Amino acid sequence: MHNLELAFGVNRSFSMRLATAAALLILATPGRAQEAFDPQARVTEALQAVRPIAMNRDRVDWVAVERQARELAGPAKDTIDLLPAYHLIVWSLGDNHSLILPTDGQVDEWIRRNGRDRYLPDTPRRRPSYSEYRRRPVSGRDLAMPNGRVARTVVVPAFNGDDASNAFAQSITDALRSSAEACGYVVDLRGNTGGNMFPMVTGLWPLLGDGFSFPGVSGPGLEDGRVSVEGGQLVGYAQPGAPGEAFNALSSWTADRTIANAPVAVLIDQVVGSSGEGVAIALRGREQTRFFGERTYGVASANTILTLSDGIGLAVTVAYLKDSQGRTYPDGIPPDEPVATGPGSRTDPDDAVVEAAKAWLANDSSCAV
């Protein structure tokens, strides 16, 4: 058995059972002493690591998967040669989110040896998606609405890592609260491919309101967990009555029910995925909230990252993300108002999706003239 240790805690603690909602959990395996290369032993290690935790483990024909993986591994002389076997194991899970994580150097060496970038040419590629809004920084600005009122918009981009997560969360809160005149808000998630959802959600606490909670994840052993916004912190509970564990905390916060009760437009596109979808799901259970744009990518699930003894990472899906009503979104989050990405009116500097959000906000009673 691996010595399982996660970025947010220890296996079988709440952090293993609930923090997987971040879709960026790291399972670290201590390195082993140098030993003769044994491809079949590596396949055994991978199967023993993946099978117990995979969300779809009961839907997989493990006998067939093991047979195929061992056939692929047969001629392997090193880890590079084993990449197809590892890829087969995670691809066979059928969740569209599990994947292998070789280093750039390993990918380059694979291509040099094989003349292609695919490990198994017969397996389908992931669905392509495009967004011009990827890699934006956190930002906020006021939006002039058709009726003369003002809405505040904040861009929430992808975020990976943990070291600067509290500062990232605070930057979102600061961007939200920079306007004293806003009667409504726009959360722009377009281009957010995921990473660590906890600081993203923590930063949006003014819109969620102190005490707002949602289940977070839905998977074996995760049925009773909840995530709650409390006093500028995002706190997780493994089960009712259990001690909470804070994931992220803001350095500066003040409870403000005015913002928590304001109408919110959420902008999504086809690239929003993984933890980006997790943020959308957190907002999905909020009242006075409407979604605009395109259906999200459809990997609204949580991955645990296994590091095998040869250093290869396997990202394995362990749960679906779940909103406050208990709903999961395996096929992506649909917008309430579909709007194609593109320019808007010639008289309005904003794009079509922002324009649709502004029109809805302007008609809300909170923003009525």
Do residues 218 and 21 lie in contact, with contact meaning Cβ atoms separated by under 8 Å?
Answer: no
Same domain, 20 and 154: no
Tokens of 12: 């079988």
Same domain, 90 and 159: no
Contacts 24+ apart (CB under 8 A), 1-9: 2/27, 2/29, 2/49, 2/306, 3/29, 3/30, 6/304, 7/162, 8/162, 8/245, 8/247, 9/245
Q: What is the pLDDT of residues 43-56, one digit of tens each?
A: 999 999 999 999 99
pLDDT band, very low/low/confident/very high, at 127 (cuts 50, 70, 90): low
Does 133 fall in a domain?
Answer: no
Burial class of residue 134 (count of CB atoms within 10 Å of its CB; 0-12, 13-18, 19+): middle
Domain carrying residue 96: 5-114
Same domain, 150 and 86: no
Whole-structure pTM value: 0.81
Same domain, 59 and 166: no
Same domain, 167 and 68: no
Least-confidence region, from 234-238, 253-257, 312-316, 351-355: 253-257
Edge-to-edge strand order for the sheet containing 226-230? 213-214, 226-230, 233-237, 245-249
Do residues 110 and 83 lie in contact, with contact meaning Cβ atoms separated by under 8 Å?
Answer: yes
Residue 88 has pLDDT above 50, yes or no: yes
Does 206 fall in a domain?
Answer: yes
> Percent of the chain, pLDDT > 90?
57
pLDDT score, position 32: 45
pLDDT score, position 31: 43
Does 126 fall in a domain?
Answer: no
Q: What is the CATH number of the domain that holds 332?
A: 3.90.226.10
pLDDT band, very low/low/confident/very high, at 224 (cuts 50, 70, 90): low
User: 254: helix, coil or strand?
Assistant: coil
Do residues 195 and 157 lie in contact, with contact meaning Cβ atoms separated by under 8 Å?
Answer: no
Least-confidence region, from 48-57, 224-233, 294-303: 224-233
Rounded Cα gap, residues 212 and 145, in angstroms: 28
